[in-house]
């Protein structure tokens, strides 16, 4: 093998494809090396929940076969000398292009995206044994574009969170500092790219869940305009807010990934023809472009000086590159968070109603009546944050309350959308912070309301449906951790923000692999990650479990997979107590040459933490506290509507 495992980790899409075309290495070597690296290093980050080794190797073999056939078909390609080598490389390059924009590139998917034959758990006990019977359009397109699928990635439960701390399988860790969160809800997707475990990953963004972890982990993270990428097969949080997008270490790689997954899908009526070609104008620069800055964002309470300084620095670089910096106003943006925490829980409540323990999902055993089974299964299957949002959504949609909160929030949504439309009459792109701070330590932000503030600069983009992305611009002066700036584009003009990002990237350079995960990084305890080959379709369909069934020893959804003939690694009967928000032990890393191998406490994969009753959760906010956000929403909604 001409390239080492760690060398592949630092390569971008074009680098991998150039090596494949030159026959320096094979696609199978890329796939095997990527899987070896995941097994060796993911014990530190806990980014992966499941690998797909068989799928990866089969895809790699298809690409290698296409390359071999193309080279063999060229007369004189095997001849000695420069001409024969050049002819072979040209034929291989054409074959790769025919395979798709991601041909030979290791990719991985957030665990709310269905991939047939794999577990799709949404990092929830509710779906811990669910095996996908079909594949999401975005996943299918990434694989059809030649991507080598490595597996499924950790996330906040049902995408409810900003740190992956709500995952039923334990949190992911930030590769830049293993004592800190990677962000969320797509924390596993961001951590996998930052650690060099995958070249491209896909995540979903409902209020900042792609861009915020992208900023925390120092990678490029793109949330395209609502409708650019199909949502078919992606487990819904907020159907009018969700959007799928890529993570990568360069703007070009992210644009190529977006080219692969974008476009109209007849299975998703909200998807649109986006025109693709996102990678075509990246080299055009920003001279003559008008880039907006929102003064209210830069003066927002809670924005740390190091983040503000980085946004101002980026604005200065854009000015030096020939862009005009223009101040724009978004007068209703201050109401975005309040409107979001009305709209989001309402849509989440509606979408989570399908998890009833009968059709699929966790089924609590030993109940003689359907009502008792419903209540117990949902109480134990959902974690605290999911229950919190279900209760809030139920309240907001109840009779006599709907008109007070939900309808005004939709009116505010219209006002925010109009604000962005007016702003984009003046500018081509808007520059803003992504998050008010850099990555925080585990347990540092324990209050749900404080956690929600992590998305204070990103939520309004989802409400308006615009495109937004995070671009890493170096390390913060105070914390020494990655900082990202947010670029926002008009609807269906995502090329604008990618073009501006590419110009800034000429100053800052592509995102590097996190220092502890570069060449020769070693961890003592490799990750024990189950593979999709162990998935047993149909085990998630329990039917009604009665007391008689339980007494007779009939298999039920709450039983361990070992009892059902599956893998004990996915046991739902874990006796561990519910994970607290305290900081988890982080593995220590030793780089090559520093001597020895460090001890590591690798997290166990696919073992959900036991969930308690919603009335027996120490430290969980009461109903009045949960509804406090709604009361605040009402006042801000009314103020914005005046």
Homologous superfamily of 1-642? Amidase signature (AS) domain (3.90.1300.10)
Question: Which of residues 639 and 230 earns the better pLDDT score?
Answer: 230
Query: Measured between alpha carbons, how far is 318 from 212 in angstroms, rounded to an integer?
Result: 22
β-partners of residue 290 are 324
Looking at per-residue pLDDT, the higher value among 413 and 454 belongs to: 413
Residue 152: exposure state from Cβ atoms within 10 A (0-12, 13-18, ≥19): buried
Which residue reads 């561990």 in tokens?
576
What's residue 229's pLDDT? Answer: 97
In sign, the C-alpha dihedral spanning 247, 253, 259, 260 is negative
Beta strand pairing call for 467-475 and 324-327? unpaired
Detail the DSSP E strand segments found in 417-519.
429-433, 467-475, 482-489
Q: What is the pLDDT of residues 21-69, one digit of tens each?
A: 999 999 999 999 999 999 999 999 999 999 999 999 999 999 999 999 9
**Pick from 226, 38, 246: nearest CA to 141:** 246
- Summarised one tens digit per residue, pLDDT across range 544-590 is 333 333 333 333 333 333 333 333 233 333 333 333 334 455 555 44
* DSSP conformation letters of 172-227: --BTTBTTB---SSSHHHHHHHHTTS-SEEEEEESSSTTHHHHHHHT-EEEEPPTT
**Per-residue three-class SS string for 322-339:** CCEEEECCCCCHHHHHHH
Mean pLDDT, residues 8-27: 94
| Whole-prediction pTM | 0.86
* Tokens found for residue 497: 């923000």
Which residues have a catalytic role annotated? 110, 185, 209
Task: Count CA within 13 A, CB hemisphere, residue 404.
Answer: 13
User: Is the separation of the CB atoms in 131 and 538 below 8 Å?
Assistant: yes
| Per-residue model confidence (pLDDT) at position 567 | 32
The pLDDT of 513-526, averaged and rounded, is 76
| 144 or 3, greater pLDDT | 144
Share of the chain above pLDDT 70, in %: 80
User: Taking all residues of the chain, what is their mean pLDDT, rounded to a whole number?
Assistant: 85
Element (H, E) at 141: helix 137-144
- Residue 627: CA count within 13 A, CB half-sphere: 11
Residues 492, 297: Cα–Cα separation, whole Å: 23
- CA distances to 342, 406, 529 from 631, in Å: 10, 12, 43
Query: Phi-psi bin for 288: left (phi > 0), alpha (psi -120 to 50), beta?
Result: left
* DSSP secondary structure string for all residues of 267-305: TBTT-------TTTTGGG--TT-EEEE-HHHHT-TT--H
528 pLDDT band (50/70/90 cuts)? confident
Percent of the chain predicted with pLDDT > 90: 72
């Amino acid at each position: 093998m001409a390239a080492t495992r760690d060398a592949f980790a630092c390569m971008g899409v074009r680098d991998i494809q150039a090596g494949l075309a030159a026959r320096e290495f094979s696609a199978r070597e890329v796939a095997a090396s990527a899987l070896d690296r995941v097994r060796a290093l993911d014990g530190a980050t806990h980014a992966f929940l499941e690998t797909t080794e068989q799928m990866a190797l089969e895809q790699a073999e298809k690409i290698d076969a296409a390359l071999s056939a193309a080279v063999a078909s060229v007369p004189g390609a095997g001849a000695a000398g420069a001409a024969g080598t050049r002819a072979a490389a040209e034929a291989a390059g054409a074959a790769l292009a025919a395979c798709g924009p991601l041909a030979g590139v290791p990719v991985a998917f957030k665990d709310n995206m269905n991939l047939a034959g794999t577990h799709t758990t949404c990092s929830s006990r509710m779906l811990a044994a669910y095996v996908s019977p079909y594949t999401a359009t975005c996943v299918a397109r990434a694989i059809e574009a030649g991507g080598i699928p490595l597996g499924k990635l950790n996330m906040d439960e049902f995408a409810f969170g900003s740190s992956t701390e709500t995952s039923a399988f334990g949190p992911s860790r930030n590769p830049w500092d293993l004592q800190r969160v990677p962000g969320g809800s797509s924390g596993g997707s961001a951590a996998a790219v930052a650690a060099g475990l995958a070249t491209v990953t896909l995540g979903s963004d409902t209020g900042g869940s792609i861009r915020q972890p992208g900023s925390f982990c120092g990678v490029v993270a793109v949330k395209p305009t609502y409708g650019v990428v199909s949502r078919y097969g992606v487990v819904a949080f907020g159907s009018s807010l969700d959007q799928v997008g890529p993570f990568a270490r360069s703007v070009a790689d992210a644009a190529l990934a977006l080219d692969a997954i974008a476009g109209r899908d007849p299975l998703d009526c909200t998807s649109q023809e986006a025109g693709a070609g996102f990678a075509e104008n990246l080299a055009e620069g920003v001279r003559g472009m008008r880039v907006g800055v929102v003064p209210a964002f830069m003066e927002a309470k809670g924005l740390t000086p190091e983040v503000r300084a980085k946004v101002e620095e980026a604005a200065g670089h854009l000015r030096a590159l020939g862009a005009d910096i223009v101040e724009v106003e978004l007068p209703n943006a201050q109401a975005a968070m309040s409107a979001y925490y009305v709209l989001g829980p309402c849509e989440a409540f509606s979408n989570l109603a399908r998890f009833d323990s009968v059709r699929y999902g966790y089924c609590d055993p030993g109940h003689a009546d359907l009502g008792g089974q419903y209540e117990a299964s949902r109480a134990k299957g959902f974690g605290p944050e999911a229950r919190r949002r279900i209760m809030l959504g139920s309240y907001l949609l109840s009779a006599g309350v709907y008109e007070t909160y939900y309808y005004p929030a939709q009116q505010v949504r219209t006002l925010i959308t109009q604000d962005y439309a007016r702003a984009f009459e003046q500018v081509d792109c808007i520059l803003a912070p992504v998050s008010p701070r850099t990555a925080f330590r585990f347990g540092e932000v324990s209050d749900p309301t404080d956690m929600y503030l992590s998305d204070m600069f990103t939520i309004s983009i989802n409400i308006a449906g615009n495109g937004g992305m995070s671009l890493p611009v170096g390390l913060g002066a105070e914390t020494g951790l990655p900082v990202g700036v947010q670029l926002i584009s008009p609807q269906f003009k995502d090329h604008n923000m990618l073009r501006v990002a590419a110009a800034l990237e000429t100053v800052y350079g592509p995102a590097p692999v996190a220092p502890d995960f570069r060449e020769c990084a070693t961890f003592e305890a490799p990750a024990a990650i189950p593979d999709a080959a162990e998935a047993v379709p149909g085990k998630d369909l329990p039917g009604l479990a009665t007391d008689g069934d339980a007494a007779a020893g009939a298999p039920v959804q709450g039983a361990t997979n070992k009892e059902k003939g599956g893998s004990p690694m996915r046991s739902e009967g874990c006796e561990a107590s519910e994970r607290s928000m305290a900081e988890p032990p982080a593995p220590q890393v030793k780089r090559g040459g520093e001597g020895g191998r460090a001890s590591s406490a690798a997290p166990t994969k696919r073992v959900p933490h036991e969930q308690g009753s919603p009335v027996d959760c120490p430290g969980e906010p009461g109903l009045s506290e949960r509804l406090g956000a709604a009361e605040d929403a009402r006042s801000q909604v009314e103020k914005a509507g005046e």
